[in-house]
Structure 1
Amino acid sequence: MASTRTAAPALQVEGLRVAFGALVALDDVSWQVAPGEILGIIGPNGAGKSTCYNAATHLVRREGRVTLLGEDVTDVPAHRLAARGLRRAFQQNAFFGDLTVLENMAAVLQDERGASLGRAVFRPFATRRDAAETRRAAAKALERMGVPARYHHAYPGETPYGVQRMLSIALANGSGAKILMLDEPAAGLGGADMAELVTLLQSLRAEGMALVVIEHHMDLIMSVTDRIVVLDQGRMIASGPPEEVRRDPAVLEAYLGRSA
């Protein structure tokens, strides 16, 4: 695994707190992830994992501080964080079902680049050239993210489930995140699909991306992460390298079980 202890954080959250009326869903949670590092966030159902993601990406009202690439983004709205390099994929696969796999990726890249109406009207040849370049970039991005070329011209619903998961991650990543947050990327995967996900996560880490992964698949989280944060009832009860967390009595009690 990559050693990133001396690297400056790519994403840092401090004292996150989320309350829904009298219910405190997240209380004083702090963690950070560096470039070229995979941070895992685990905990039993209802521990506050997804709320933690929503708080970090400003999708819910929260207290605390969020720093992105050295800049305080606590007050930056969620829809502007993606352009700054912070992107996330959700638990459910997300794509346009009436577009091909390649068209899905091209649509995301085109949206990021921002095509103007004036350019389309007054420079149609340049627009067609841009579209061709976008499709080439889309194909390259898909293959990089584990979506083989043989599926590019199929509709997402026509592809195997594992391909759909990879497509959702690819669309979340777009032209390239600096910090990518994944919510249960291994859900529904097994065998070769799981191995491909592990390979993808390791390759993104090797390229210097910071990854934050919520996952219930303990074999995956223990094998691929550099550090793990454990939540229980909205509070952080442990943090450290996988082997250290695996032996933590509080984790054994709250999440893994005494027999783990």
Structure 2
Amino acid sequence: MTAGEPAALRVEDLGVRYGALVALEGVSWEVRSGEILGIIGPNGAGKSSCYDAATNMVRRSGRVWLAGRDVTAVPPHGLAPLGLRRAFQQNAFFADLTVLENMTAVLALDRGTGLAASLLAPWREAARRRAIEAEAAAILERFGIPRAMHRRRPPNLPYGTQRMLSIALAWGTGAKVLMLDEPAAGLGGEDMVRLRDLLAALKASGAALVVIEHHMDLIMAIADRIVVLDQGRMLAAGTPREVQADPRVLEAYLGRAA
């Protein structure tokens, strides 16, 4: 990110209420291109509410900017075409389609042509379909899913590969900002290493990543900065080293005083 360039994603004074329950209040942060921002906190701290608020999936107060553009009023489905994409905590794919068909469907949606083009120029549509399938295969390989698995259906994949598929589908044709909700959930060993390497590669490509995570070893290793939430409010923010040394974090998140 060059000097003077706006943050890839900036949120200011986000608030979420469910009746009398305050789930989020006064939360502000930003993430830049080529940076990983971690969001951590105890269960019930407001992490998922923060994601939902940033992507306009709940009624909330506050404002949101994407690359300097005010997108506060943009509905959730309008954010993806602008480059803000999100992978949910649970794996998300079409179980009855093959892995390649899943990826092809996402790319076709991103780049879709109308029905008229399919009817009036079927040869052109067939060539376009082949090109999209080739692109889909390349993206899947980039996300660690080998071609030998492309004709399988997602439920038949190892869990770690299902997780990579969900992230690849969220990424689609590319994201300026990718928000991940506990991507390491259920992973361990080699799968955790693959995830770490993937996040580092996406960061190196210039994407901005916002990662909710409970695996402290992972988030402390990959994040450039971390925001700590507690009871819906910002408790601390800074580099991993600064956050680890903050006595408020040690007390509220780790359950002990410094």
Q: TM-score, normalised by structure 2?
A: 0.97
Alignment size in residue pairs: 258
**Mapping 1:67-216, distance limit 5 Å:** 67-216=65-214
Q: In percent, how many aligned pairs have the same letter?
A: 64
Cross-structure match for 1:236: 234
* 1:5 CA displacement: 8.7
Match of residue 45 from structure 1: 43
| Range with bigger deviation, 248-257 or 100-109 | 248-257
Q: Aligned equivalents of 2:7 and 2:231: distance in 1? A: 26
Contact 2:247 2:257 in 1 (8 A): no
CA RMSD of aligned residues (A): 1.4
Residue of structure 2 in register with 1:226 after alignment? 224
Find the aligned partners of 1:144 and 1:223 in 2 and give their Cα distance.
22
- Structure 1 residue 259: deviation in Å? 7.8
Which residue matches 1:15?
Answer: 13
Query: What residue number does 1:25 align with?
Result: 23
TM (norm. structure 1) is 0.96
Tell me the distance in 2 between the aligned counterparts of 1:236 and 1:227.
Answer: 14
Moved segments of 4+, more than 4 Å: 3-7
Alpha-carbon contact 1:4-1:34 (below 8 Å) kept: no
| Structure 1 gap segments, 5+ residues each | none
For residue 45 of structure 1, give the secondary structure of its aligned residue in structure 2: coil
Worse-matched range after superposition: 113-122 or 167-176 = 113-122
> 2:184 is paired with a residue of what secondary structure?
coil
**CA–CA separation in structure 2 for the residues paired with 1:255 and 1:218:** 11
Q: State how far apart, in whole Å, the 1-side matches of 2:185 and 2:55 are.
A: 22
Q: Structure 2: which 5+ residue stretches go unaligned? A: none
Whether the aligned pair in 2 keeps the contact of 1:7 and 1:35 (CA below 8 Å) is no
Q: Secondary structure at the match of 1:39?
A: strand
Shift of 1:114: 1.5
**Mapped partners of 2:105, 2:152: distance in 1:** 15
Aligned partners of 2:40 and 2:227 also within 8 Å: yes
Residue identity opposite 1:233 in structure 2: Q
Give the conservation status (yes or no) of the 8 Å contact 1:4–1:35. Answer: no
